[in-house]
Structure 1
Amino acid sequence: KIGEELKSINLDEIDEEEPVEHNGEYFLPVKKKIPSGSVVIWRNVSAEEKLKKLMVIDPELGIYNSKFMKDMLERELDRVNSEGSQMALALIDVDPGENGPSLSEIAQTLRKTVRNFDHVCRGDRSDFALLLFVVDPDKIDAVGHRLFNVLKKLGVDKVSIGLTLSGRSPSSEAMMKQAQRALYVVNARGGNDISIY
């Protein structure tokens, strides 16, 4: 049955680097040339894919870890710069308070708040780092306030957010430092605010 369903995939569109997901299992297509054309062998790579996910996912919170965030920031910054578009980096520190939500609840709320192509990650020097794509520079303030308000509504006692835009950053390291400076400004003022660098 799996073979029948995988057979229906257009062979010309197959990417031999990208596994195909089917019922929770992952199969990597391997194209072989034969005299009458091509044949595809489907190799089950589920174990390898699960291991890859473990390497980029924070096991406690179920979001991307800080290493993935740094790698993704570098890759995506190169892409958006070449396309002439903008992305934003938001660093978030939280103090849930005595009866506040858990970090896991906060992480899941952030995931539901951002769009499906944005990334919620563990921060390096912050609790969370968000990579936000296709951002209108004129609306970055509104984005920061929306994140702030969602977390306050969740019951987080103290929320501090530092944001920066890719257009002001020559490199991923510079972008990270700018967001860290913005977050530092908020924390120095006592938190519970946003700052944009």
Structure 2
Amino acid sequence: MIFVIETVIMSAFHLVFLIDNIWLEVFTDAAMLVLFLIPSLYYFMLLPIEREIVARQQTEKALQEANDQAELRVKLRTAELEVTNTKLETEITDHQQAELELQNTNEKLNASVIELELRSREDKLLSEMSELLQACTSIEEAYRVIDHIGPRLFPASAGALYMYSPSRNDLEPVLMWGNLPQEKFTRIFEPDKCWALRRGRLHVIDSLCKGLACHISSNVQAGLCVPMITQGETLGVLYLRGQEADTPLPFNQQLAVTACEQIALALGNLRLRETLRSQSILDPLTGLYNRRFMEETLAREIRRAERNQRSLNLIMLDIDHFKEFNDTFGHEAGDAVLRELGQMLKDNTRGSDVSCRFGGEEFVLILPETTAEDARQRAEELREKSRRLTVILRGQSLGIITISLGLAAYPNHATTGEALLHAADKALYRAKAEGRDRVVIAEGS
């Protein structure tokens, strides 16, 4: 500010020197006026300006400081936000990764639940099949159980069960389900045409072993053959494939193996049971029922005849001069005669009739729901057919075979099994006494 005043004063003095003497007085007066006005000018104009400038400078300084502080705070906040943003991005990434892992875990869990439900269903069906098979009393009944459970156990598959024939020279289908060509899968085939039977283990047919397809699996891109083995004996083979020949296997191979093991065990037990039962109720020489089975059956049929108020007839027959066959041709000849007569009786009895070997050369026929006249005619037919039997041993004919028959009826001749047998035996004795080769009806008819 002082500099401004000095400048003004010097300017004034300079003006004075420039003015001519003429104007000296005027200038002097003017200078005095100027000198008088300068303090006023300073006080009223320059000082407020100076104050305003100072205030503005202070304001600008304050604003600058505030701006600097604000910029600093912005920088700090920006840094904090960047850190927070980085953490947030990390958290978002971790959250997304966690969600993805949770989704994968959930998918795996759902798949595990589905797999568990499937395995539970399969175990339930296997258990059901096992229980039903154990309750079966015949192999035919077991086949019906397998035919019922098989399509449920392998719902997306077609299958067939092949069993060895009695001669064990070939296998024949006993049941099948699904979309299988009847003309192909109903054919009988030899065991050596099946890889599973030859290897004694599961055989898978797929595109990698297409050349190893066997009789069952020819023209099939995917299939499975499982041999049924129990106690060292092969009973047959189970064949499975998709409903269409070119589809992959739609089931677990272990399930097929487990099912086969259960089926083989059940069928093996049933065969053993039937064999033991046959040995206990069948005569090994003639194949007819034995005396024990005859007595049980006779008692049961008499109870049924009494309940239904129906008649029951019984024929007891004996081979005439049987001792002479043994004495002349030997016991082997006697056995041959017994076998031929047993076969003749089996071939000429109804499904409801029961043919038995009573003992030695004696036989008994139980004829349920048969009239006395029908029974007599049946006895005469058997007598005539026995005469036409031709028994040859070592190229030599054993001659004509005749039989004597005694006939008794319930309730006309007896009301119990023992009494009915006794009445038929007495009638047979009379037939022998009257000359053999005849039918005699019990007394009291």
TM-score class normalised by the smaller sequence = 0.7 to 0.9
**Structure 1 residue runs of 4 or more that deviate by more than 3 Å after TM superposition:** 95-101
User: What do residues 25-78 of structure 1 show as CA deviations (whole Å, max 9, x unaligned)?
Assistant: 968x8xxxxxxxxxxx97723222321111001111111111111111111111
Question: Which AA in structure 1 matches 2:441?
Answer: I
Match of 2:424 among 179, 183, 188: 179
**Structure 2 CA distance for aligned equivalents of residues 83 and 120 of structure 1:** 22
Contact 1:118 1:132 in 2 (8 A): yes
**Structure 2 CA distance for aligned equivalents of residues 18 and 134 of structure 1:** 29
**Structure 1 CA distance for aligned equivalents of residues 418 and 337 of structure 2:** 30
> Partner residue of 1:129?
364
Match of 2:309 among 73, 84, 91: 84
**Structure 1 CA distance for aligned equivalents of residues 421 and 283 of structure 2:** 20
> Partner residue of 1:163?
407
Please give the TM-score of this superposition, normalised by the length of structure 1: 0.75
Higher relative contact order (CA 8 A, sep 6+): 1
**Structure 1 CA distance for aligned equivalents of residues 349 and 274 of structure 2:** 25
State the identity as a percent.
25
Q: Alpha-carbon deviation of 1:117?
A: 1.9
Unaligned runs of at least 5 residues, structure 1:
1-6, 30-40
Q: Does 1:71 align with 2:296?
A: yes
Contact 2:316 2:424 in 1 (8 A): yes
Residues 1:86 and 1:152: Cα distance change in structure 2 (over 3 Å): same
**Structure 1 CA distance for aligned equivalents of residues 139 and 410 of structure 2:** 33
Unaligned runs of at least 5 residues, structure 2:
1-124, 146-261, 391-399
Residues 1:162 and 1:62: Cα distance change in structure 2 (over 3 Å): same
> Partner residue of 2:190?
none
> Partner residue of 1:19?
137
Question: Which AA in structure 1 matches 2:284?
Answer: P
Q: Alpha-carbon deviation of 1:125?
A: 6.9
Q: Alpha-carbon deviation of 1:189?
A: 1.7
Q: Alpha-carbon deviation of 1:17?
A: 6.0
User: What do residues 172-197 of structure 1 show as CA deviations (whole Å, max 9, x unaligned)?
Assistant: 11101100110010111231111011
- Judge which range, 66-75 or 41-50, deviates more: 41-50
Residues 1:52 and 1:134: Cα distance change in structure 2 (over 3 Å): same
Please give the TM-score of this superposition, normalised by the length of structure 2: 0.35
**Structure 2 CA distance for aligned equivalents of residues 125 and 185 of structure 1:** 19
> Partner residue of 1:32?
none
> Partner residue of 1:188?
433
**Paired residue total:** 173
Match of 1:145 among 363, 380, 384: 380
